[in-house]
Structure 1
Amino acid sequence: MKRHIPNFLTLLNLLCGSIAVIYVVNNNFVVASLFVFLGIFFDFFDGFAARKLNVQSELGIQLDSLADLVTSGLVPGLVMFKLLSISTNTSEIINEWSSYTEWTGFKLPILPLLGLLITLASAYRLAKFNIDEDQQDYFKGLPTPANTLLIISLPLIIEFHNSSLIDSILLNKWFLIGITFLSCYLLNSSVKLMALKFKNWSLKNNTFRYVLIMVSFLLLMVFKFIAIPVIILVYILLSLLNQSFIVK
């Protein structure tokens, strides 16, 4: 029975991602974000449960990636598609973000489709991860959940920070295109980033992980959703420092 627990958690991740897709399609980014956060929570604990129960399996690995492709691949791609779609009418919605709640007709503009490159890059990264036996203690490139948090933070910043300056930046199509290509690069880069898996709780072996947790907590308390992109940057920088210490 216990061997099914991690897979059940993985399926909950997939369910949350699927529900998030529905809300993104209907332009409800806040509720979609809640389900993304919940999905990432299940994604973290399915692996944790598998290790603790000693029931890791090839099926679980494949199922985990399939679930991640939805929650941390399709959802951020759709969010970027929506943001790029909105950016074509930025002047109309900067002062009334909440007014953009439904479509008055269906069109498929070309430029916003660039957002789906994030989905493609996520799928490619997940496929590489599944066949790469080296990524046990570290990640090559930005993990898909971290990338999803980066993308999903953009509409949350617009929604909750009420700044016309921030809105004008985040809803600029060139900024969004730049973030899209940066996201695709980070997902599939060869940069080694530390995994947030604790094999033990010692300070010596987890110094940079503890620093990341504390810095992240402080940044979220002070800057709220604006902190998320900063936390991703801090994660990358701490990972590079961690690698330099390992090399030494």
Structure 2
Amino acid sequence: MKHLPNILTLCNLVCGCVAVTFILGAYPELKTVTGETFFPVMGAHKLVYGSIFILLAALFDVLDGLAARALNAQSPIGKDLDSLADVVSFGVAPAMIVYQLLWMALMSEPKAMSVSPLATLPAFLLPCFGALRLARFNQNNKAQSAYFSGMPIPAAGIMVALLPLILAYGEGSIIGLFSNKWMLYALVALLSFLMVSKIKFLKWKAPAQGIIAWWPHILIVLTAVIGYFIVGYSALLLAFAVYIIASMLYKYPENKQLA
């Protein structure tokens, strides 16, 4: 049983690898929303499969931590293995999604044939800054018991993983928004900055006792659920924005010594 956490971590890694294979196998499709208006969608179904495996990787990432604590099987090897898996599942795989979306956005421009391949390189800032964030976390001996210092890489990866779902099932305006190269560049810059910043981010568990301490978590869930019935899958982006804002507004315990 002591090897169960590492096995779950490897399941995380496998899901990340499978996600990459689906994402790289995506091909262009056109989705019509308003009759004569078409929006490019990069291999909608394969990108969605890639997103699903990234989300599965996130599930295994949670389970391996729970298993390690329950079995008292935490170890330096397990911590490093977890970081290596996270770089693939929440860094490389999401970067492939951004790469494909950037490629499609660039190919839809008037002078597409003269576009430099270097224009897609910003996508790979995600695994770079994600790896830097993980290295900083692992080298710091102070446990971040109440909050994360900087956005955790799984959160950034999940944010990107939501895009194919929104592009495949969202409204026309949202599809057009994330088919714009500048919007994608801005998203990469924002997530990269948040990962290496010193901004406090909420953990899955509230850092204090009582129902009041859970108000951000409740708000995020309500935003996603209620928003779904109003704006569909676009509510996922809204919930993520609420997560960022709530993390900044939350009053964390003063007596925690954190990285």
TM-score (norm 2): 0.81
TM-aligned CA distance change 1:241 to 1:202, over 3 Å: same
Q: Deviations over 1:220-247 (max 9, x none)?
A: 454443122211211122222223x645
Question: Alignment RMSD, CA only?
Answer: 2.4
For 1:99, the equivalent position in structure 2 comes to: none
- In structure 2, relative to structure 1, the CA distance for the partners of 1:130 and 1:175 (3 Å cut) is same
- Please give the alpha-carbon distance, in whole angstroms, between the structure 1 residues aligned to 2:129 and 2:203: 20
Tell me how far 1:114 sits from its aligned partner.
Answer: 1.1
Q: How does 1:4-153 map to 2 (within 5 A)?
A: 4-27=3-26, 28-90=46-108, 109-132=117-140, 133-153=142-162
Q: Which moved more, 1:47-56 or 1:205-214?
A: 205-214
Deviates more, 1:183-192 or 1:213-222: 213-222
Q: Is the 8 A contact 2:55 2:161 kept in 1?
A: no
Q: State the distance in 1 between where 2:72 and 2:82 align.
A: 16
Within 2, Cα distance between the matches of 1:54 and 1:200?
23
Tell me which residue corresponds to 2:189: 181
Q: For the Cα contact (< 8 Å) 1:16–1:36, is it kept in 2?
A: yes
Distance 1:242 1:198 in 2: 10
| 1:235 matches 2:253 | no
Measure how far apart 1:188 and its partner are.
Answer: 0.9
Q: Which runs of 5+ in 2 are unaligned?
A: 27-45
Count residues with an aligned counterpart: 231
Tell me the percent identity: 32
- Partner of 1:110, secondary structure, is helix
TM-score, structure 1 normalization: 0.84
Shift of 1:160: 1.1
1:162-241 aligned at under 5 Å gives the runs 162-163=171-172, 165-197=173-205, 202-220=210-228, 222-241=230-249
Structure 1 letter corresponding to 2:62:
F
Q: What do residues 140-192 of structure 1 show as CA deviations (whole Å, max 9, x unaligned)?
A: 111111111211222221111251x3222211111111111111101111101
3-state SS in 2 of match to 1:3? coil
SS of the residue aligned with 2:221?
helix
Q: Equivalent residue for 1:95?
A: none
* C-alpha spacing 1:85/1:129, structure 2 compared with 1 (3 Å): same
Deviation at 1:8, TM superposition (A): 0.9
Secondary structure at the counterpart of residue 206 of structure 1: helix
